[in-house]
Amino acid sequence: MDKDRIAGSAKDFAGKVEGTVGDIAGDAKTEAAGRVREATGTAQNLYGQAKDAAREATDTAVSYAKDAYENSGDTFRDGSQAIAKKVQDNPLGSMLIAGAIGFALALLMTRPPSRPPQRSR
């Protein structure tokens, strides 16, 4: 619990007491001061609640990020093992696929740069 919530609740309670005492005594000034203190306490309490909610949301987001990070290694390891198994099961097909990828990359890298068409004068 945030310290603003505790202080706000205390001010709210003190303001209610002060306002009630002012009302009973017939002192408008004391009653008004109590209502002001009560409103201030309520606002401070709400501010503390908002800070708590933001802190909880941040903690939850951090927790989700940590879980995703920790599980990503397992996913990568599982994928690597699956690829290794496929290569072991079919080495010729794997070599053909790797060769085709290498050929396609070589074509892309050796292609002359395209020039814009020349304008006629």
| C-alpha distances out from residue 99 to 54, 88, 103, 108, 119, Å | 53, 17, 6, 14, 41
Q: What is the pTM of this model?
A: 0.51
Q: What is the pLDDT along the chain (121 residues), one digit of tens a residue?
A: 678 778 888 888 888 888 888 888 888 888 888 888 888 888 988 888 888 888 888 988 888 888 877 777 777 778 888 888 888 898 898 899 999 999 999 988 887 767 777 777 6
| pLDDT at site 121 | 62
Sign of the dihedral defined by the CA atoms of residues 9, 13, 16, 22, in that order: negative
Rounded to whole angstroms, the Cα distance separating 115 from 121 reads 18
DSSP calls for 49-108: HHHHHHHHHHHHHHHHHHHHHHHHHHHHHHHHHHHHHHHHH-HHHHHHHHHHHHHHHHHH
| pLDDT at site 96 | 92
Residue carrying the six token digits 């290569």: 87
CB 8 within 8 A of CB 43: yes
Query: Domain-by-domain residue ranges, the chain?
Result: 3-110
